[in-house]
Structure 1
């Protein structure tokens, strides 16, 4: 590893002077723009700050600032793969050698006195105070058109609140509470996501590979898949479910139905809704021209679903042998499900555009 050069130290002095140190020291707020622009995980930056702050006053004098900058640049330039547990001897200034030795000895003694124990596990109980805190975080997050939360929408505010978690922690927690790999999740899984990461941040809890059975049922409940890489199941009903004759006791339990004697009004209303959906889907398809990653067969699959549904309705209405009523409520639910898929497609497209824009901005920032 290359040693500190005079030119490098001079560069660090110029940066340090521009931060307007007080009593030859800068605090965390003054250095935070540099830390943020490094694009390193907050967990890495926290470790670097701890190593550099040799006298543990939560401020850096110039010698400590040099240590901080060198470790940051070594991580950015991949001169080192990880932050060392202790400062290498060549990076310790002579005036700080005694303090570093005392800190190492103190740390060794503390570790020897502490009984070895396994990292804590996530406690899934959420108190009313927890829920209030998590709800405030959710209120600060953007939502998709259906009110759900994407990974990016949740991760950005959590990174600013939980400094001891990294990108890998966010990904593990997301995979845990989103086993179906959906593009966005509902409120309940989002609360679990925040709760898990808060304990990872506060007490170093290990993110598990599986949820408890009761919580797994909550996050795995049936819902529309917005992930375009997942296989969508057809919503078309091939045959109508038989309808039993009503008795006095069953009349209150049966869903509301419409007789086939006058189906034209219902059919016309459904055709109108299908036409609106088709227009919406066509518009989404046009918007996706700049996103070659979206296969056209995904768009065709949704259109095929509701075309099949319309064909089924027409067959039911025109069949002379069909004397049973059509359950319009069930058909309407199918249409609503398809409409949610189209909305999910639009959300997916928007998220991809935002990701592309962020990547372009990041590339431009590196090119300057």
Structure 2
């Protein structure tokens, strides 16, 4: 860290004089615009002010003001990574040496009388019903995208209005934790955990976790359903069902899954004899996406029917019931396949032993 130069002291004097000091001192309110413009976290600025205000009168004379400005500029210019716990000797003015020593002695006595400090608590991942209600109110105040997701700026604005003991760096860390895919926006589930972690950080100083529990990885890594037919999620092979051999709607067997009511999948026939669990899971996701599509179209169609247009809502209702049944039956099929796989693994393990 470079030491103070004369040109630097002159620059600080110009700033100090421009603040119109009273009795050769400036108050915290007078210096506040400079502190705010530095864009440092409030915790950093509070620590700098404490170090600079050597006589603890909540005002700065010019020598103390120089200390304050130098530490701020060193943080802004990244000459230092963190604010030191004690002032370096070269930054202590001669007239303040005695006061600095007395402050150190007082602090040492206070530390001796204090009980041993406990480590900051870890984040409790459980969200109680009461907390969930509170978090929902916060999340509901956020501006949402067309798909219902929330961006970092919208969530941060709501958080700042509720929690005052957290800085922007805390929010950045938690955002990366709940958004490992670095998406522009996230849906409601990770948003609730975003609020949950920051609330504990604000209230009891909990440590921000470095990783998430295994059972929440799926929640934070969840990929939004894409309705673009060119996306990877749409890569499902289809074969045409002969017209002369139609099968009843919502019939699900071990070899085929068909839908006769869905206009987008009249010709959908999926061979499940050689289907792997991954393929079954992919098809389940596709059917769930199609179910949501039909639900949205049903609501849209209902609006049109209300306005007087000729629209067949009953067919949409039948489609929804049909697709939902197929999703449920496919889920059972997937569970059955998993059981078969586990049984096969057990036989292999017994044979090898």
Pick the TM interval, shorter chain: 0.5 to 0.7
Partner of 1:206: 207
Within 5 Å, give how 1:215-226 maps onto structure 2.
215-216=216-217, 218-220=219-221, 223-224=224-225
Q: Which runs of 5+ in 1 are unaligned?
A: 251-256, 260-265, 271-311, 317-328, 340-368
Within 5 Å, give how 1:100-139 maps onto structure 2.
100-112=100-112, 113-126=114-127, 134=135, 137-138=138-139
Shift in alpha-carbon separation, 1:193–1:116, aligned structure 2, 3 A:
same
Within 5 Å, give how 1:1-368 maps onto structure 2.
1-21=1-21, 24-27=25-28, 29-112=29-112, 113-126=114-127, 134=135, 137-138=138-139, 141-155=142-156, 158=159, 162=164, 164-167=166-169, 169-212=170-213, 215-216=216-217, 218-220=219-221, 223-224=224-225, 233-239=232-238, 245=248, 259=261, 330=287, 333=290, 336=293
The structure with the largest alpha-carbon Rg is: 2
- Following superposition, the deviation at residue 183 of structure 1 comes to 2.4
- Following superposition, the deviation at residue 99 of structure 1 comes to 2.9
Does the 8 Å CA contact 2:166/2:198 hold for their aligned counterparts?
A: no
Q: CA–CA distance in 2 between the matches of 1:332 and 1:166?
A: 36
Partner of 2:324: none
Does the 8 Å CA contact 1:178/1:219 hold for their aligned counterparts?
A: yes
Task: Give the alignment's TM-score, normalised by structure 2.
Answer: 0.58
Q: CA–CA distance in 2 between the matches of 1:136 and 1:17?
A: 47
Shift in alpha-carbon separation, 1:79–1:336, aligned structure 2, 3 A:
same
3-state SS of paired residue (1:211): coil
Shift in alpha-carbon separation, 1:81–1:172, aligned structure 2, 3 A:
closer
3-state SS of paired residue (1:234): helix
Q: CA–CA distance in 1 between the matches of 2:193 and 2:184?
A: 17
Shift in alpha-carbon separation, 1:106–1:194, aligned structure 2, 3 A:
farther
- Following superposition, the deviation at residue 121 of structure 1 comes to 0.9
Q: How many residues align?
A: 265
Q: CA RMSD in A?
A: 4.4
- Following superposition, the deviation at residue 101 of structure 1 comes to 1.9
3-state SS of paired residue (2:122): coil
Does the 8 Å CA contact 1:120/1:204 hold for their aligned counterparts?
A: yes
Does the 8 Å CA contact 1:9/1:66 hold for their aligned counterparts?
A: yes
Shift in alpha-carbon separation, 1:22–1:165, aligned structure 2, 3 A:
same
Q: CA–CA distance in 2 between the matches of 1:69 and 1:178?
A: 37
Q: CA–CA distance in 2 between the matches of 1:192 and 1:35?
A: 32
Q: CA–CA distance in 1 between the matches of 2:102 and 2:240?
A: 79
Q: CA–CA distance in 1 between the matches of 2:9 and 2:192?
A: 47
1:248-290 Cα shifts (integer Å, max 9, x gaps): xx9xxxxxx765xxxxxx85xx7xxxxxxxxxxxxxxxxxxxx
Shift in alpha-carbon separation, 1:240–1:20, aligned structure 2, 3 A:
farther
Task: Give the alignment's TM-score, normalised by structure 1.
Answer: 0.56
- Following superposition, the deviation at residue 84 of structure 1 comes to 1.6
Q: CA–CA distance in 2 between the matches of 1:84 and 1:117?
A: 22
1:312-365 Cα shifts (integer Å, max 9, x gaps): 66x56xxxxxxxxxxxx959827849x9xxxxxxxxxxxxxxxxxxxxxxxxxx
Does the 8 Å CA contact 1:162/1:198 hold for their aligned counterparts?
A: no
Q: CA–CA distance in 2 between the matches of 1:52 and 1:225?
A: 55
Q: CA–CA distance in 2 between the matches of 1:155 and 1:99?
A: 41
Q: Which runs of 5+ in 2 are unaligned?
A: 253-258, 269-285, 297-353
1:182-223 Cα shifts (integer Å, max 9, x gaps): 321122322321231233344332111333455555445563
- Following superposition, the deviation at residue 79 of structure 1 comes to 3.2
